[in-house]
Copies of this chain bind each other. A is one copy, B any other.
Amino acid sequence: MQHGPLKLKLQLLCGEGTAMGPGKADLLDAIGREGSISAAGRALGMSYRRSWLLVDEMNRCFRAPLVDAVSGGGAGRGARLTEAGRAALTAYRDLEAAAAVAADTDAYRLLVDAMLDAPRPQGAGAGA
């Protein structure tokens, strides 16, 4: 999540894994929109294997699965967000919004005022 020059990354850790983070939340959004894990992955420029692994990790990190994948052939595998999936996605977006209040502080304004828009070229350092 980005606010001007401020980039905020929120992750919910689950043992060695990550239950939720920016990539997983975007994937949930895309699954809700696209109706399948493969189409969601494609929409995000992600391999099917990678998107499937992210879904699997999420499902294993929550008490109830977030994505219900309808396996089997025919017209391709479909997938949809469960009620737990929709609730977790909404809560994660709310959490991001809560953290973003950092961009409305004097500390943020002080940093932005002290920064340049782009790095000074190497060798032109101001006393470095």
* Interface residues, chain A, with chain B CB atoms under 8 Å away: 2, 5-17, 19-20, 55-57, 59-65, 67-69, 84, 87-88, 90-92, 94-96, 98-102, 105-108, 110-112, 114-122, 124-128
Among residues of B, the one whose C-beta sits closest to the C-beta of A9 is B9
Task: Please give me the 6 A-B residue pairs with the lowest Cβ-Cβ distance, nearest first.
Answer: A15-B118, A94-B107, A59-B128, A99-B102, A98-B102, A60-B119
- Dominant secondary structure at the A interface: mixed
Is there an interface contact between B59 and A125, defined as CB atoms closer than 8 Å? yes
- How many angstroms between the C-alpha atoms of A17 and B120 in the bound complex? 10
Contacts of A128 in B (CB 8 A): 55-56, 59-60, 65, 67, 69
